[in-house]
Structures are given as structure tokens and as C-alpha cells.
Chains A and B, each alone.
Chain A
Amino acid sequence: MKYHRILLMTALLLFAIRPAMAGDDSLIPGDVMNYIGFGAIVSMLLLFVIVMLVLLKTFKILTRVVLKQQGLTAAEIDAEMNPVKPKKEKKPKAAVWEKLLSLKPLTEEQELLIAHDYDGIQELDNPIPAWFMYLFYCTIIFAVGYLLNYHVFKTGQLQYAEYRTEMAQADIEKKAFLSKAANRVDENTVKLLHDPVVIASGQAIFKSTCAPCHGDHAQGNVGPNLTDDYWLHGGKINDLFKTIKYGVLSKGMPTWEKQLSPKQISDVANYIESLHGSNPAGAKAPQGTKEADTDQKLVANK
């Protein structure tokens, strides 16, 4: 009875907690709630199993007590509790295995020996296992089906058709995503931003992607200095976006369109704008034309 009480208590406790938890909805996030829920269910199940085991034990003991009261001896009780099961004729494991593999028992091996030996090596005249032949036939049917599928009925797509399907599917998904997402930005719509989050994101991209050629602080290395007033392909935010997006292949600037998302290009372009006039150490000599306009606008913005 004690156990039933525990069970009851637990159930009650859970009922008591439930409204409290519901009330604290805002404090506990959904996934944590889920975990708590799973935990509760699993612990209840465990508890249930324990209770069942305990009950079973109790019944066994009770039976013993009742049987003893009826005047049975200990040995008789044992016999009653554990009746002798009629022993099943168990097939030896090896025999099952042999049947599955269509093997002949080893005892019959002598009859299968081919009367000939090579340097003492003898061969048995066992048939080829049936399952082996089925495997072989299945692979042949598969192979024929494969060729028919791709080359006779043309129901399967060969690599170039497969590629077109893949690209079309990707295009649909991409369009669907971009129509919803707010990050549709291109060289015409890009805006100069001073949001520290944007600058930080741009900086991270710059460090991993641009620094090898333009230097850690955009001072210029293989690529030009990006902090001075001189620009080869324009210093406005739209120009920067365009240069990053399409690259300038003739001068060694790669195309980043395929590697950076529009949002990322915008971030890194804004980061570069933020570096303007930072005069880093070891700056590369100016290249390109001076763009005073950009400069003034930036100063004004600051």
C-alpha cells in the first residue's frame, strides 16, 4: 500500500506543479519545457516498472505464505512455484546455420570428396549455394534494369538532365527564400551604414577573406590600400559593393558573388568604408584616382 501512496503522491505533486509551470510560461523556453516533459514521462515509466516488479515480488511472497498455511512443506512449495518445464528439443545452432547456407552436414563430407588431389589439396563436389546464385541473379537483373532505365526507356536522368533539375529546384527555393528575407540587396540598393553590428560582421569577413591580399588593416599587400583617398574602381559604397561582388579579374580581384551573400558583401563594404582615413602602418602607396567627394561625405557623416 505504501507504494500506491507514493504513486498517488507523485501524481498529485505533478498536478500541483502543472499550473505553476503553466504560469511561468514566459520564464521557461519551449524546448526546456519539452525536456522537462520528456523527463517526467520517462521517470514515470521507470517508476511504473519498479512498482510492477515490487508487486510481483509481493505476490510471490504472499503465495508462499498462503501455501504454507495450507500445510505444504518448503520443498513442495518450491516445486509448486517453479514447475519443471518440458524440455524443448533444441536444434543445434550449427544445423540452423547449415540449412540457411544450404550446407551439407560435415559427416557426409566423405561422399563429396573428388577423387583427386593437388599437392595434397582435395576438393569437395559441393553444389554452389542456392543463396549465392540468387544473389548473382538479383545483381544481373538490377544491372539490366539499370541500363534499361537510363538508356532504353530513359526514365532515369543522366548527369546533365540531373544537373538541370538540381539547378531549377535550387532556383525555386532560393527565390522563395529571398522573397521573404529582408536581405535582398544589390549594388544599386546598398546603403552606407554605421551600425556597429554591421561593422563587426564586416570586420570578421574581412579578416578571413580579404586580409591575405589587402593586409590585416587594409593597408594593402598584393591588393591596393583601402584606407586612403585613392580608388581604382570607385570608393562609393555602391562601387565597393560592385567590385567585391563581380571582382576585377584582370587585376587579380576574385569574384565573391558565389562565396559571400549580398548581406555579407554589404557588411564588408561598410566595414571598408569605416576604415577610411585610418592611416594604418606600412600603408601601400596610393593607386588609382583621388575621390574627394567620398571623403567629404564620410567626414560629414562622422
Chain B
Amino acid sequence: MQPEKFYYDNKIVRNFGIATVVWGIIGMTVGLIAAIQLFQPGANMHNQYTTFGRIRPLHTNAVIFAFVGNAIFMGVYYSLQRLLKARMFSDMLSQIHFWGWQLIIVSAVITLPLGFTTSHEYAELEWPIDIAITIIWVVFGWNMFGTIFKRRERHLYVAIWFYIATFVTIAVLHIVNSFELPVSPLKSYMVYAGVQDALVQWWYGHNAVAFFLTTPYLGMMYYFLPKMANRPIYSYKLSILHFWALIFIYIWAGPHHLLYTTLPGWAQSLGVAFSIMLIAPSWGGMINGLLTLRGAWDKVRDDVILKFMVVGLTAYGMATFEGPMLSLKQVNGIAHFSDWIIAHVHVGALGWNGFLTFAILYWLIPRIYKTELFSKKMASFHFWIGTLGILFYAIPMYWAGFTQSLMLKEFTPEGMLKYPNFLETTLQILPMHMMRAAGGAMYLLGVIVMGYNLTRTALQGKLVANEAAQAMPLVPAQEVARESSWHRRLERRPIQMLIAALLVILVGTFVELMPTLTISSNIPTIAAVKPYTPLELQGRDLYIREGCSNCHSQTVRPFRSETERYGEYSKAGEFVYDHPFLWGSKRTGPDLAREGQKYGNAWHYNHLMDPRLMSPGSIMPEYDWLISQKLDTTTTRAKIHAMRILGVPYPLGYENIANRDLDKQAKQISDNLYLDKIRVKNNREIIALIAYLQRLGTDIKANK
């Protein structure tokens, strides 16, 4: 048999590489602006499109799906071709994949600041974009499996197992979490409500971390680390064990994001138990990586690329140990909703995803440009400023998290909250927020230096767009000797591998989601809970548009410190009409689940116009545009109709008269404001938002 000659497609790798760096810088800059707003609210330039509530989702989407996403495709397209000894299946599909993905990101950059959001964290994009993501993801899978089918390598290497698991699980997660009913071209309601919606969202949210930020990166680590260090992978057996254990266990852990909420107790406990069991499988990847460097540690001293890898793997190890610890309910009671979680995710994101991406870029760009890295000194500077940046970011955030949580839980001997005013605890941690922004700026500076360094590298070399390679054609399967190990046999069968991975992740999915979604006794209903009035519903959509849930939670946990501060703890039955749920995941401001009727309408009006009038020192942005903008009531009809389809008991035909009720309620509020010398037309957005805020948590009055 003659070796076959073929060419690797390096151009697509280069394109994804450029996109990684460009989106990385953009995404992190947006993050920095958001961070500055947390001590200097004026940094939103008094502009609705750049307020924290709207750009925080932009930051997370940009760094996860644009920066990390493009980095994944860069790494996969580079390593897949070489591990399979084949060019990508179709250059056309590669192009569609690349440009389609960039278009999706651009649409996110446009729609999120405009306030088009589903409010589901890390899945904020509205339904037309969700469909586009599905299509492009299928294109990616098609291209990947096409390449696998025309491979010249019988067995699939461990990196490819991770790529396959990533592909199939993200597809399942994205589709299930995007069950939404369109109301208009850029607005939809989630099909599930309240507790059920929360469970679906955090099953998604947690596993987006698992299968977008973890498994593809483990796959890339398995290819690039042995290449960089020129060492064999430490243990093939460990690869098998930790791969299957990781994907099986990870999918169960989602409910640990909902501890002490109204999620049924059994689901919460399953989330905790599986999170703890996740420690070893997660560490399997780190151990296999660090032990691969055995005998190459002298290289780590000199090679900045390996330094990035080592810090990245260590950050991964720390984050995956901390995660299970955070899922223990005693720890979670303190850490949840606080800056501790922000520190936790950034150790993972900046350390593991960021540093691995940088290492791969520094390694790969000179290779596809057939040249040397432009400046090793600059790369070294990047490593040190990046590491310092992570420390400056994480340590103040940990400190801020502990401080604020403990302050919020402190009581005086009289049995009163020591800090009854939430704002007091916020003001205490503002210096930490400043240091965090400084840490973020350092990290960003490093990335910009890398961008320059890589650009100069590319300019001094020449892209080898089609890299020649040769390999023996595949021996027909029937001529290959039967292997004794079952896993060896599975590695030859990509479709069976795909199905096996799918089945493994579906076990946890079904056990946790199905009972909660189908057995009604898991969500006890409350007769007093009524659907929102049309005005409140419109107000709720404004709450979603402005991204209020990025800073305000809407669920009171059963803790003395919370029931004293906010009122009776939340009940599952209170959220049955909440499409989507708005529990939030962070309390930069106080919980709002029982905000209704706590203050007068005038207080809310003044507070939204300028929060510092009513709460001196507050870091909430001003929402004065709500006063000047007219509420769009043409959508009421479609919204009421959609809600009824989803099971909200509005009477038949109510959509036709809904706006009449809306006007009536709006007039009541504006008349009431007039008593306090506030003149505002009743067709303004602020009226709807006040109506919604005054309704929150008022359906049950259990605490009196």
C-alpha cells in the first residue's frame, strides 16, 4: 500500500485564532466596564445600552461563546485533522461554521444591549438566534463526523472522545433550554415556569460550564500538552476512567445552583451528592496532565507556554475542588449570591480557559506561519501580568464575598439584624470591587500584549494555508485483528461512541428533570396566587429587558437572616406563572421577592429615577429613560395570548380587553404619584415597572 498525500487546512484554524483574540479583547473590555460600574455606576455613561444589567450578559456571552467558543473551534480544527490524519470533511462547511458563528456573536452584541434577552443566564439570546446556534452547531458536528468517517487512523484518540461528548451534550442542553414560545420576532416566553424553569436553566447552566468550558478544553489539553512537552500521556487507563466518570456525573450536579430554593429536597440532595463525587473525575484530567509533564519539569522553567499550561491546570484543579465544596449546603448558604461565586468562576475562566487558550495560541500560530514567536519576553510578561491579574481579581472577591455574607447574617443580642440596610454591606466591599477591576485590567493588558505579539509573529511569517502531510490509508475494518479490550473496540466506532456518550448524559438528565417537570406534587399550588395583570406583565418584561435579575434575586431562602430582612421565605407555588423564572444568581442589591408594598409608589419612582436620592451611596444605575419612554402596549395582546397557551389561566378573549385594564391600573398609579407631587403620564414605562415591583411577593401574607 502506498501512503496517501493530503493537506491540512490551516487557514480555518488561523481564522478561528484571530476571532479568539479579537473577541477575547472585546469581551474582557466589556467585563472591565461592567466591573467599574460596580463601584462607579456613572461608568455606564448614563446610557441605557451600557448599563450593567444589559452588558453583564454581553460580557458572559462574549467571553464564553465568542472567546472560548472560537478557541475551542481553533483547537478542534487543528488537532482533529492531525489526530485523524485527514483534512476537514468540507471546506465549505468550515466556512459556514466560521462565518455563521461570528454572525451569531455579532447578533448577540447588537441584541443584548438593546435589551432583547430571555433572562436565562448564558442562554440570553432570543429565539431566532437560538435557531441559528442550533443550525451552526449541526454544521460543526456534521463537519467533525464527516472528518471522522474519512479518517486514516483506525482508533479515536482521547481528545476526540471529549470532542464528541461536547458536541452531543451541548446539542441536548441548548435545545432543551431553548423551549420557548415566540411572542414577536425578538421576544419569547419560556415554556416552563418557576421551579421547573429554574431547574432546566441550571441543569443547562451548570453543564454549559461542564461541556463548553471543561470537556473541549480537556480534549485540547490531551492533544496540545504532550505536543508542547514532547512527553507521552501519563495513563491511558486514567483517561478512560475519568472521561466516562466525568460526563456521567457532571450532568447531575446542576441542582447545587438551587440549594435552599423551593426546588424539591430530593433534587437538591442529588445535586450535592453528585457534586462531591465529581472531585476525582475532574482531577483525573489535571493529574493526567501534570503527570504527563513528569520528566519535563526542567522545560517548564524555561518555556512560557508550559508555564501557562501548568497554571491553567492548577487553576482547573482548584476550581473543581472548590466547586464541590461550594455545593455543600452549609458552605452554599454563605457563598451563594455573593462575590465568592464570582471569584470561583473567574479562577476557572481566567486560569483554566484563558491560560490554556493563550498557551495554544502561542504554540500554534508560529507553527502555522512557519516562524518563531515574535517576542518571548512579551509572552513572559503576559504570563506574569496574567497570573497577577488572576490573584488581584480573585482574592478581593473572596474577601468581599465572606465579608458581605457574614455581615448580612449578623444579629444583635436584641435579635435584630446588625446591618438591616443592605446598602451598608455593599458600601463595605466597594474597595474590593475597585481592586477586582484593577486585577481585571491587568489580565486584559496581558491579552492585548499577546494580540500584538501574535500579530507581529504572523506578519514576520507566512501562513501555510494548506500543510502537506501523508499517511497510510485505513486498513479495512475486517482485516484488523480483534482487540481484547472493550474500550479499544469502542474507540474504533465513532457512532457507537456518540450514542454511548449520549446515553450516559441522559441518565442524570431524566432522573432529575422528568419528575420535576411531570409530577405535580413536586410543585404545591397556592390558591391565592393569581396571574399578573397586563400592566404587571409588561412591567415584568421591562424588568427582564433591563436585566434587573443580574443584581437582584427573587427568592427568599429559609434562613432567619433572610426572613427577618425580606419577609416570609419563598414557596414553590408562588412562581407558577413566572415564564421565565427570575430568581437570579447574585445579590449585588437586595432580594426583591417580597418587595411589593414595602415602599410607596413615590419611593420607587424617585429610586428608579436616581437611586441615590432614596439610598445615598447606592451603586444602582439611574433608570431615568423609563420616565421618558412610552410603554409599548401593542404587544399586550400577543403576550396575554402566549401566556394562556403556556397555561396561565387568563379568561378566553381576555387579550382583547387587556389593554383597558392596563390603562386603568396605570392611571391609578399615576394618580397616586400625583398625590406626592409627581407628574408622570400614565403611558410611561416606569408606571408598568412600579406596578410589577409593587406586586412582587404580595399574593401570600404568611408572615403577618
A222 and B606 contact, Cβ closer than 8 Å, known pairs A129-B287, A143-B276, A212-B614: yes
What's the Cα separation between A262 and B416 when bound, in Å?
10
Contact residues of B: prevailing secondary structure: helix
What's the Cα separation between A139 and B280 when bound, in Å?
8
Smallest distance from the beta carbon of A255 to chain B beta carbons, Å?
Answer: 8
- Is the CB of A132 closer than 8 A to any CB of chain B? yes
Smallest distance from the beta carbon of A107 to chain B beta carbons, Å?
Answer: 10
- Is the CB of B301 closer than 8 A to any CB of chain A? no
Looking at A106, A140, A178, A213, the one whose CB has the most chain B CB atoms below 10 A away is A213
- For residues 216 through 230 of chain B, which have their beta carbon under 8 Å from a beta carbon of chain A? 223, 226-227
Selected interface stretch from A2-10, A13-21, A72-80, A117-125: A117-125
Selected interface stretch from A25-33, A155-163, A236-244: A155-163
A261 and B412 contact, CB distance less than 8 A: yes
State the 8 A-B residue pairs at the shortest beta-carbon distance, nearest first: A252-B600, A174-B415, A259-B420, A136-B280, A143-B273, A163-B558, A122-B232, A126-B235
Looking at A126, A222, A258, A259, the one whose CB has the most chain B CB atoms below 10 A away is A222
- Is the CB of B283 closer than 8 A to any CB of chain A? yes
What's the Cα separation between A174 and B233 when bound, in Å?
61
Which residues from A are CB-within-8-Å of B615?
212
Which residues from B are CB-within-8-Å of A132?
238, 280, 283-284, 287
Smallest distance from the beta carbon of A160 to chain B beta carbons, Å?
Answer: 6
- Is the CB of A147 closer than 8 A to any CB of chain B? yes
Name which residue of chain B comes closest to A257, CB basis. Answer: B416
- Is the CB of B128 closer than 8 A to any CB of chain A? no
A167 and B676 contact, Cβ closer than 8 Å, known pairs A151-B266, A213-B614, A261-B416: no
A128 and B241 contact, CB distance less than 8 A: yes
Name which residue of chain B comes closest to A247, CB basis. Answer: B598
B227 and A124 contact, CB distance less than 8 A: no
B157 and A114 contact, CB distance less than 8 A: no
- For residues 93 through 128 of chain A, which have their beta carbon under 8 Å from a beta carbon of chain B? 101, 103, 106, 109, 113-114, 116, 118-128
B420 and A139 contact, CB distance less than 8 A: no
Name which residue of chain A comes closest to B280, CB basis. Answer: A136
B83 and A118 contact, CB distance less than 8 A: yes
A160 and B603 contact, Cβ closer than 8 Å, known pairs A116-B155, A127-B237: no
B414-452 interface code vs A (CB 8 A; 1 in, 0 out): 111100110000000000000000000000000000000
Which residues from A are CB-within-8-Å of B265?
150-151, 158-159
- Is the CB of A254 closer than 8 A to any CB of chain B? yes
- For residues 36 through 87 of chain B, which have their beta carbon under 8 Å from a beta carbon of chain A? 79, 82-83, 85
A170 and B559 contact, CB distance less than 8 A: no
Interface size class of A (residues with CB under 8 A): 35 or more
B83 and A125 contact, CB distance less than 8 A: no
A196-220 interface code vs B (CB 8 A; 1 in, 0 out): 0000000000001100110000000
Number of interface residues of B (CB under 8 A): 74
B616 and A212 contact, CB distance less than 8 A: yes
What's the Cα separation between A271 and B6 when bound, in Å?
88
Name which residue of chain B comes closest to A287, CB basis. Answer: B675
Smallest distance from the beta carbon of B253 to chain A beta carbons, Å?
Answer: 11
Which residues from A are CB-within-8-Å of B412?
261
Which residues from A are CB-within-8-Å of B565?
258
Smallest distance from the beta carbon of B507 to chain A beta carbons, Å?
Answer: 15
Which residues from B are CB-within-8-Å of A124?
232-236
- Is the CB of A181 closer than 8 A to any CB of chain B? yes
Which residues from B are CB-within-8-Å of A24?
none
Smallest distance from the beta carbon of B570 to chain A beta carbons, Å?
Answer: 11
- For residues 235 through 272 of chain B, which have their beta carbon under 8 Å from a beta carbon of chain A? 235-239, 241, 245, 260, 265-266, 268-270, 272
Which residues from B are CB-within-8-Å of A143?
273-274, 276-277
- Is the CB of A192 closer than 8 A to any CB of chain B? no
Which residues from B are CB-within-8-Å of A260?
416, 420
Which residues from B are CB-within-8-Å of A177?
413-415
A147 and B270 contact, CB distance less than 8 A: yes
What's the Cα separation between A151 and B294 when bound, in Å?
45
A147 and B269 contact, Cβ closer than 8 Å, known pairs A126-B235, A212-B616, A252-B600: yes
